Structure 1
Amino acid sequence: MAFLSMNSAIAAHCWKTLRLIATDMDGTLTRQGKFSADLLQALEHLSAANIPVLIVTGRSAGWVSGLVNYLPVQGAIAENGGLYYPADKQQPVFLSTIADITTHRQQLADTYQRLKSEFSQIHESADNRFRLTDWTFDNRDLTTHQLERLNTLCTSMDWSFTYSSVQCHIKPRSQDKAIGLIQVLRDHFPQYQPEQVLTVGDSPNDASLFNPQLFPLSVGVANVLDYTDELDYKPAYVTVATEGDGFCELVEYLHQVGG
């Protein structure tokens, strides 16, 4: 990884290919868990520059359905690729194939109880009740070894497992951010190719967005460096600042490149 800079070669490459930004939310757009005035201004600058923004988050369907109506974005993917909320529609588009939501939720609950029998310290996330496709519990004081064990257990029960700076996720095997984003681009933004999309993130559940074979242009805000050894793929560039300040740094950089 290299730090994002004003290097002219990087600048030319970024501005030549960039048409859309797909970004994580928690730890990437937020600052200490909150949206800042600077972040909202940065999103407005992108809108004025005709660079659409998609949020790609692990947060729940319930939370994202509200956010997409208030932020200046084109849409939002929730639950690590489970659903898509277009900004101009009220109903979500399911990206994962789930035959029956009630049965699916019960199966997730059963899996969580099996995990809890070994990890009694885990607690269901506050937003889990507002979820449809995945199940979450708080990522509090879990070691890397414990997270690996949780991944092994979920895999043995035919589920996928991932985690961010705030939550752990039990989800369908084929559900992740990159798969969901590619599907949304194909169905809702066919004018954009993956190589024209700048992906931004900060955590292990963003790793698929850093896959250079899918998205060659990717940026991690500086706190991604906390997970360097845990990422399957690493971002092409890293900002100097952390969290939402890093995203604002990126937007300012792109503004300067664009003249």
Structure 2
Amino acid sequence: MPSPRDEQIRDPRPLTELRPERLATLRVIATDVDGTLTRAGKLGSDLLEALAQLSAAGFRVIPISGRPAGEVMGLCRYLPGVSFGVAENGLLEIEPDHAPRWLGEVPDVERLRVVGEHMNQAHGAGLRLTGDAFCRLGDVAYERDGRDETELLRLRELAEAEGVHLIWSNVHVHLAAQRPDKGAGLLRLLNQRGIDPLSVVTVGDAPNDGGLFEADRFGLTVGTADVVAQRRWFSALPEFTTAEREVDGFLALSGWLCGRG
């Protein structure tokens, strides 16, 4: 489906054009999880090795996911080099052995569920709550179930008519009271922890990562190769993209960072 934005969109540059001096001040990697750290939906041993190498090189890794608080807590506890993260598309700060902390306004989850049910009953949306809904605190998410962008745009229009926002990742469809913005949530977390946003490289693959790519927020923004085919659905695009998809793109970036270009 063509978009009016198409002619105004400039494709991100290949990662191979990144100048080494851009890497010198980077100390933190804030990364999406599904489709960015995974391959065919799974975390692999090559990722764990890369995270260990990044940690040894002095990098801190912050997972920033659309997944629920409960799942991100597990990532923060067990992944090498990870001690805290952000869940539910920027809503919650997650740290093991601490209660989740809100980074955005506390939503009316019941109203979001009502909107989802109305979309199902009145418009045949076919929205199916995610299996991890039981460990979500402020986000209402549904399985993407293979929907293409044409159908997702239809659902977005229906949601907007109800006064709520709809965004999607490569696995889920999210309803939210405010426009989901991982980048805004990340900025609040960085401010609270005294971390310079210009020391952060953000990484993602899907439209719900658009907030991580907003200009002048972070030191460097990188998308996997998956961004290019979906570029017209992003609120903002990264400066650079890898030649590789999924976790292979993240691995390519981590090689650049560990080798400093």
Match of 1:226 in 2: 229
Residue identity matched to 1:149: R
Give the superposition deviation at 1:230: 1.2
Give, in whole Å, the separation in 2 of the partners of 1:47 and 1:119: 47
> Against the structure 1 CA distance between its residues 120 and 211, is the aligned structure 2 distance closer, same or farther, given a 3 Å change threshold?
closer
RMSD of the TM alignment (CA)?
1.7
Match of 1:2 in 2: 13
> Against the structure 1 CA distance between its residues 171 and 120, is the aligned structure 2 distance closer, same or farther, given a 3 Å change threshold?
closer
Residue identity matched to 1:213: D
Determine if contact 1:136/1:168 at 8 Å carries over to the other structure: yes
Stretches of structure 1 that go unaligned for 5 or more consecutive residues are none
Match of 1:199 in 2: 202
**TM-score of the pair, normalised by structure 2:** 0.89
Determine if contact 2:125/2:155 at 8 Å carries over to the other structure: no
Match of 1:215 in 2: 218
Residue identity matched to 1:184: L
- Alignment of structure 1 residues 60-75 onto 2, 5 Å: 60-72=68-80, 73-75=82-84
> What is the CA deviation profile of residues 8-38 of structure 1, one whole-angstrom value per residue up to 9, with x for unaligned ones?
x61111x223121100000000111111111
Match of 2:114 in 1: 110
Give the superposition deviation at 1:250: 0.7
Give the superposition deviation at 1:172: 2.4
Give, in whole Å, the separation in 1 of the partners of 2:130 and 2:255: 34
Are 1:159 and 2:164 an aligned pair? yes
Residue identity matched to 2:154: R
Q: 1:58 aligns with which of 40, 60, 66?
A: 66
Identity, in percent, stands at: 35
Match of 1:168 in 2: 173
SS of the residue corresponding to residue 230 of structure 2 reads: helix
Stretches of structure 2 that go unaligned for 5 or more consecutive residues are 1-11
User: Does 25-34 or 192-201 show the bigger shift?
Assistant: 192-201
- Alignment of structure 1 residues 1-259 onto 2, 5 Å: 1-5=12-16, 7=17, 10-13=19-22, 15-72=23-80, 73-87=82-96, 89-98=97-106, 104-117=108-121, 118-188=123-193, 190=194, 192-257=195-260
Give, in whole Å, the separation in 2 of the partners of 1:216 and 1:185: 13
SS of the residue corresponding to residue 153 of structure 1 reads: helix
Give, in whole Å, the separation in 1 of the partners of 2:157 and 2:126: 18
Give, in whole Å, the separation in 1 of the partners of 2:25 and 2:167: 30
Give, in whole Å, the separation in 2 of the partners of 1:142 and 1:172: 22
Determine if contact 1:96/1:175 at 8 Å carries over to the other structure: no
> Against the structure 1 CA distance between its residues 148 and 120, is the aligned structure 2 distance closer, same or farther, given a 3 Å change threshold?
closer
> Against the structure 1 CA distance between its residues 39 and 178, is the aligned structure 2 distance closer, same or farther, given a 3 Å change threshold?
same
SS of the residue corresponding to residue 166 of structure 2 reads: strand
Give, in whole Å, the separation in 1 of the partners of 2:105 and 2:169: 23
Residue identity matched to 2:181: D
Determine if contact 1:23/1:53 at 8 Å carries over to the other structure: yes
> What is the CA deviation profile of residues 69-112 of structure 1, one whole-angstrom value per residue up to 9, with x for unaligned ones?
1112131100001111124x33111112328xxxx332122111
SS of the residue corresponding to residue 174 of structure 2 reads: strand
Residue identity matched to 1:161: L
Give, in whole Å, the separation in 1 of the partners of 2:104 and 2:137: 10
User: Does 31-40 or 142-151 show the bigger shift?
Assistant: 142-151
> Against the structure 1 CA distance between its residues 116 and 30, is the aligned structure 2 distance closer, same or farther, given a 3 Å change threshold?
same
Give the superposition deviation at 1:174: 5.0
> Against the structure 1 CA distance between its residues 19 and 65, is the aligned structure 2 distance closer, same or farther, given a 3 Å change threshold?
same
